Amino acid sequence: MIAYEIDGVPVLFVKAPVPLQAGLMFRVGRADEPLPMAGITHLVEHLAMHRHGLMDHHANASVGAIFTHFYTGGTATEVVAFFDKLCASLADLPLDRLAVEKEILRTEAAGRNNGVNADMPVWRYGAQGYGLLTYAEFGMFRVSAEDLRGWAAENFTRDNAVLWIFGEEVPAELRLSLPGGTRRPLPPASSALPSTPAYFHADADGVVMDTVVPRGAAAQLYAAALERALYQELRLDTGISYTAATDYSPRGDDMATVTMYVDALPEKRSAAFNGFVDVFKQLAKSGIDAQELEAVQAKALASLDHPDYEKAMLPSAATRLLTGHPVRTAAEHAALIREVTVADVATVAADAYANALLQVPYGVSAATIGFAAAPTTSASAVSGRRRQARGGETAVVVAADGVSVVDKSGQALTVRFADCVARLRWPDGANAFIGKDGVVVTVEPTLYRVTDSDRAVLDRAVPDSVTVPMPARGPDRIPKPRPPQRGWARWPAKKTTFTVLTPLTGVLVWQVVVMGNAWTPADGQLSEMILLGMLLLSAVGTIWVSLLGIHRLNYGRW
């Protein structure tokens, strides 16, 4: 691998007797975007690619967590022309195309399968940094032409880029006309978890876990050993799962994410969960033996011997260069793998357990595994005006410093305005406030009896810079209040009142109708009949007042 520069851009080159292929990578991605502008990097990528039109050679682009990648292959002339036009487009985006590209990106998002681990980032990191990968691209609704110009000028520069290329030679005519700038720092690794290991429930067809460990050869071998153990237990031995897989991905800093997944049929999810946890805990407790270490080392070393290893690793080498990590040859990487010991893997396994986050399918109990439940509510509610839900048992609380939704048990979801990273606002008056910790408080005017003064507080709560004007919703998308519960099931005492007073009324009526026939004025018993009639009226009045009281309890009004 040869390293040098073209127009101030670092270049990684591998000589290979194959058609020319190259990629230009920038250190900017989804984790770098403010949440209200989510998707702005994707918009820049689409606009920059638009001027290429239909191409007879391969070319594409992608946006990840912390990198944006433009790549192509073909003849030297085609590759040179591709990068010439790309650099020109980044400097002068075709912004007349903005509205169309926004719709294209919305269509792309609607058909995207986000994967089984799509919710993991926000549970681990909150609504910032790496946690932003969970969210939709809200920027489609607010990013302006000026926003795009500024984002492109700040991030798509020669000082924030690396070019990789392999083929017979680097074309002499290849130019990278990019403006100067600075290397973008990595996003900080925030945390939304009070403690780990932790778990949460989700609507999923299997069990997912991720964990954060120090990056390096030992972590790679740990991931490989864990996959082998899961596959042996859940696929080969018990037949509970079809897929049992792990993934090792450097985060950009000195840490890496190891993700684990096993699938299962609905009736076997509990068994898959228990088997998964048992394997994971056993590896954390006992590590692996020397024979297993040799097996995963041999497999890793075999991949390094592949004749196409160096060119296949060029994009990865570019990411290492962009994040300040040394670029290693296959021989250097092999030496690091051979140096890993059983004790090294055991250390990684212990770290993996300590930092684990587990996604459990609904209906599967995780109470006995020793993991803490990730918080699903906030520590407290704000103090302010309380507005009861229409037909529901929650209330919204609006205060000068934040907003909460509180249920009848006192549990709350709270977003303090100082920690609000995005506010989604719909034309029908609904607002959703998203806090740094990922908590969302939605105030729906159809559900809560908010007043004009409440709306005024919410309107001035957060600045326009974090407000996203959402498109109008159809009537079927606007929530409706739950109808009040009617009938006898609402309040058990209602049945009791009816059961007790009805027989009493029947007795009194029987006395009037039957015994009254024997009570005539001639007998001098008129006063007794009057008294009996008064008793009957009193009983009917008791029933009427009781029912009015029940109505008051049910509906909050007389």
CATH code, 38: 3.30.830.10
* pLDDT band with cut points at 50, 70 and 90 for residue 112: confident
Q: Output the pLDDT for position 393.
A: 87
Domain that holds residue 223: 198-373
Residue 511 has pLDDT above 60, yes or no: no
* pLDDT band with cut points at 50, 70 and 90 for residue 513: very low
**Domain shared by 202 and 243, yes or no:** yes
**Domain shared by 95 and 227, yes or no:** no
Kindly give, in sequence order, each residue whose CB lies less than 8 Å from that of residue 103, ignoring residues fewer than 6 positions away: none
Left (φ > 0), alpha (ψ -120 to 50) or beta: where does 62 sit? beta
Rounded Cα gap, residues 546 and 267, in angstroms: 49
Burial (CB count within 10 angstroms: exposed 0-12, middle 13-18, buried 19+), residue 281: middle
Q: Output the pLDDT for position 514.
A: 44
**Domain shared by 100 and 222, yes or no:** no
Which of 317, 349, 373 is the endpoint of a domain?
373
Percent residues over pLDDT 70 in the chain? 86
Q: Is 233 among the domain residues?
A: yes
Q: Quote the radius of gyration of the chain (alpha carbons, Å).
A: 33
Could you tell me which residue, 554 or 194, shows the higher pLDDT? 194
Q: Output the pLDDT for position 60.
A: 93
Q: Is 108 among the domain residues?
A: yes
Closest CA to 67 of 156, 158, 144: 156
Residue pLDDT, tens place only, 251-283 = 999 999 999 999 999 999 999 999 999 999 999
Which of 477, 506, 537 is the endpoint of a domain?
477
Residue 490 has pLDDT above 70, yes or no: no
**Domain shared by 496 and 453, yes or no:** no
Q: Is 482 among the domain residues?
A: no
Which of 323, 342, 373 is the endpoint of a domain?
373
Q: Output the pLDDT for position 489.
A: 36
* pLDDT band with cut points at 50, 70 and 90 for residue 484: low
Residue pLDDT, tens place only, 442-462 = 999 999 999 999 999 999 999
Average pLDDT of the chain is: 88
Burial (CB count within 10 angstroms: exposed 0-12, middle 13-18, buried 19+), residue 52: middle
What is the total count of domains within the chain? 4
* pLDDT band with cut points at 50, 70 and 90 for residue 2: confident
**Domain shared by 469 and 522, yes or no:** no
Helices assigned H by DSSP within 231-328: 269-286, 290-304, 309-312, 314-322
Residue 440 has pLDDT above 80, yes or no: yes
Residue 358 has pLDDT above 80, yes or no: yes
Residue pLDDT, tens place only, 22-63 = 999 999 999 999 999 999 999 999 999 998 876 767 889 999
Rounded Cα gap, residues 300 and 264, in angstroms: 28
Residue pLDDT, tens place only, 203-253 = 988 999 999 999 999 999 999 999 999 999 999 999 999 999 999 999 999
**Domain shared by 238 and 282, yes or no:** yes
Beta bridge partners of 361: 202
